[in-house]
């Protein structure tokens, strides 16, 4: 094996990314405190051709030095939009026929590895505050709640780690919508 050079990775330009077919998945960040988490999630969304990021509440918006530190330019490629509240964003998504998935430990939540998507359905996945998680009002608006099975003494993951796991898994499920690489 030989490590690939950057020039051998066939990376899309920002224009090519903007024009590429996207995964029918929107990521909604509600009251996320850490700009490093925000930047990391943008970078994950770029990696998997996520349709857009919706930033809600007091979640910081690009451009910002601390977001850019982990986003590494992904705020330029990934479409994003700001909403004052997650409710406002979700109301808009529902009008566009998105199914809302909150990532939270709830009664009746579905383990991520047991969740089944409906092909040709558009989804939005909600990640909440690092300490308080997804607000109950947003859970009440959700079509599904999913959680990542965890087996150790801790029953929470960093939001950027959770987002990476969930986005990757949902993108695999929606793989018929992804380009061949």
Is 67 a residue whose pLDDT tops 80?
yes
Structure tokens given for 40: 């990391």
Cβ 148 vs Cβ 157: under 8 Å:
yes
* CA max distance for the chain: 51
Distance (Å, whole) CA 38 – CA 59: 8
CA–chain centroid gap for 91, Å, is: 18
- Taking residues 35-44, what's their average pLDDT? 98
Average pLDDT, the chain: 94
Measured over the CA atoms of residue 127, residue 129, residue 134 and residue 137, the dihedral's sign is negative
- pLDDT of the residue at 181: 47
Give percent above pLDDT 70 in the chain. Answer: 97
Measured over the CA atoms of residue 141, residue 171, residue 45 and residue 146, the dihedral's sign is positive
* Non-local CB neighbours of 45 within 8 Å, separated by 6+ positions: 27, 53, 74, 78, 167
Confidence band of 136 (pLDDT split at 50, 70, 90): very high
- pLDDT of the residue at 132: 96
Neighbour-count burial for 127-146, b at 16+ CB within 10 Å, e otherwise: bbbeeebbbeebbebbebbb
- Runs of H (alpha helix) within the chain: 14-19, 35-47, 65-71, 74-77, 86-95, 136-141, 159-173
Domains of the chain are: 14-177 (3.40.1280.10)
User: Which carries the bigger pLDDT value, residue 177 or residue 127?
Assistant: 127
């Amino acid at each position: 094996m030989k490590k690939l050079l950057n020039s051998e990775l066939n990376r899309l330009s920002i224009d090519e990314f903007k024009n590429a077919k996207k995964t029918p998945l929107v990521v909604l960040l509600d009251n996320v405190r850490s700009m490093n988490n925000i930047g990391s999630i943008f970078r994950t969304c770029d990696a998997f051709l996520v349709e857009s990021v919706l930033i809600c509440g007091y979640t910081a918006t690009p451009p910002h030095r601390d977001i850019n530190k982990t986003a590494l330019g992904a705020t330029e490629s990934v479409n994003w939009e700001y909403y004052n509240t997650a409710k406002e964003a979700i109301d808009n998504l529902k009008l566009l026929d998105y199914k809302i998935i909150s990532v939270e430990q709830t009664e009746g939540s579905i383990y991520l590895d047991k969740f089944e998507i409906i092909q040709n359905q558009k989804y939005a996945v909600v990640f909440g505050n690092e300490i308080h998680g997804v607000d109950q009002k947003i859970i009440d608006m959700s079509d599904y709640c999913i959680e990542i099975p965890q087996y150790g003494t801790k029953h929470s993951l960093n939001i950027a780690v959770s987002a990476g796991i969930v986005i990757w898994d949902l993108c695999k499920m929606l793989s018929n919508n992804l380009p061949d690489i």
